[in-house]
Amino acid sequence: MTNNNYPKLHNATWPGLVGKGDGSEPVIPFDTMLEMTATAEVDGIKFDGIDIGLMDPHINIDSSDDDIKRLADKVGNLNLNIGSMVAPIWGGPAMGSQAERASFVEMVRKSCHFGQKLRDLGVRPYGVIRIDSASSPQSWAVDPVNNSKLIVQTFQEACDVAADFGEKLAAEGEICWAGMHSWRAMIQTLEAVDRPNMGFQADMAHTLLYLMGYNSPEDRILPENYDWSDRAPLTAGLKQLTAALRPWTIDFHVAQNDGTVFGSGSHDKTGRHCQALDPNGKLNIVEDAGHWLRDENGELTKAFQHICWDGCMFPNQVMNNQQTWNDILATMIKVREAHGWQAPVNVNAESLIR
């Protein structure tokens, strides 16, 4: 085992919320997700932190400064940091009415304020604010040109607000979000936004669906009726995909996918997250993570200081099993062993933020 201590290893808490509630299983409380993360341990190694969603009932975006301090103390007392945060923008579609788009930008502002408070309290040394377009590909397709312009305008306004807080925004590429529903559409959106604090959040489970052309068949990279037993086309496809999106990538989710789509509760279908050791998983997690963490010459990019496991829409029975999180941590450790680096233990984490 190496002595790599970067990137830091985080677990996401929002899988306790996403796809839960009405029409699905009960929400898993924030404290339960936090406890499962803090308890996980493999060969003496533990998670370094959590990524959080600023969503009720886990976390109130309008929390008082005292509430934010209580959150910081709770997480810090478990020797964890907080990294990237999901802005609750779904009440205001990025291509909606003027009022809806203003609501989107306001949710980003509130999220940046929340993040700034956590930085000031010393528990958030790195991380971004995660957004999406909060709009469906189907509604976008009614008028692609004008709808894309609205998404870009909303993202630009959000970026300008985030810049006032020193925050970067990362658009998570998922097939269920307009203007982000294919790798080509995602790049077009990022290029049009053209803000230095706008980037891409790559999730291995979702970007696999980019290769398959879901919701955008003309942009598929893998051949139709692809034979998953032949790794060569998949590796070539991942190289093509990451060459295009890696320069934009400022946040990264380690995940597994079985090549299918799935949705539950109110969440539309997107790339299905699988357990780390799922025999039906199509990815070689450790090897394929390297396409995102290394450049075309195999050199480490060090483009972000932490990586996060995202396992949305797992059954509650799976998520309440501590072994699930130990297996995830073990996989994350292997990714860091293969594609991580060493930094002095007394380094000022703020100096590592890019």
Is the pLDDT reported for residue 350 higher than 60?
Answer: no
Average pLDDT score over residue span 163-176: 94
The count of domains in the chain is 1
The whole-number pLDDT of residue 261 equals 58
Buried b (16+ CB within 10 A) or exposed e, 332-352: bbbbbebbbeebeeeeebeeb
The whole-number pLDDT of residue 310 equals 87
The whole-number pLDDT of residue 264 equals 41
Are 252 and 293 in contact, with CB atoms under 8 Å apart? yes
Would 319 be classed as within a structural domain?
A: yes
- 346 pLDDT tier (thresholds 50, 70, 90): low
Would 184 be classed as within a structural domain?
A: yes
The whole-number pLDDT of residue 344 equals 81
Q: Give the CATH number, domain containing residue 74.
A: 3.20.20.150
Q: pTM of the entire structure?
A: 0.93
Average pLDDT score over residue span 214-226: 91
Q: Cα 203–125–54 angle (5° rounding)?
A: 55
Is the pLDDT reported for residue 307 higher than 50?
Answer: yes
Bigger pLDDT: 224 vs 107: 107
DSSP-derived pairing of the beta strands 270-271 and 261-262: antiparallel
Domain carrying residue 28: 8-339
Read off the pLDDT of residues 316-340 as tens digits, 9 standing for 90 and up.
999 999 999 999 999 999 999 999 9
Would 3 be classed as within a structural domain?
A: no
- 272 pLDDT tier (thresholds 50, 70, 90): low
Average pLDDT score over residue span 10-36: 92
CA–CA dist 144, 327 (Å, integer):
42
- Mean pLDDT across the chain: 92
Residue from 3, 206, 211, 177 nearest 90 by CA = 177
The whole-number pLDDT of residue 342 equals 96
CA–CA dist 274, 315 (Å, integer):
10
Lowest mean pLDDT among 6-20, 111-125, 259-273: 259-273
The whole-number pLDDT of residue 271 equals 55
- In Å, the largest CA–CA distance within the chain is 55
Residue from 316, 313, 177 nearest 258 by CA = 313
CB neighbours (10 Å) of residue 142? 8
Would 206 be classed as within a structural domain?
A: yes
Would 198 be classed as within a structural domain?
A: yes
> Which residue shows structure tokens 């306790």?
16
Is the pLDDT reported for residue 171 higher than 90?
Answer: yes
Would 354 be classed as within a structural domain?
A: no
Would 309 be classed as within a structural domain?
A: yes
Would 138 be classed as within a structural domain?
A: yes
Read off the pLDDT of residues 100-131 as tens digits, 9 standing for 90 and up.
999 999 999 999 999 999 999 999 999 999 99
The whole-number pLDDT of residue 354 equals 34
Is the pLDDT reported for residue 77 higher than 80?
Answer: yes
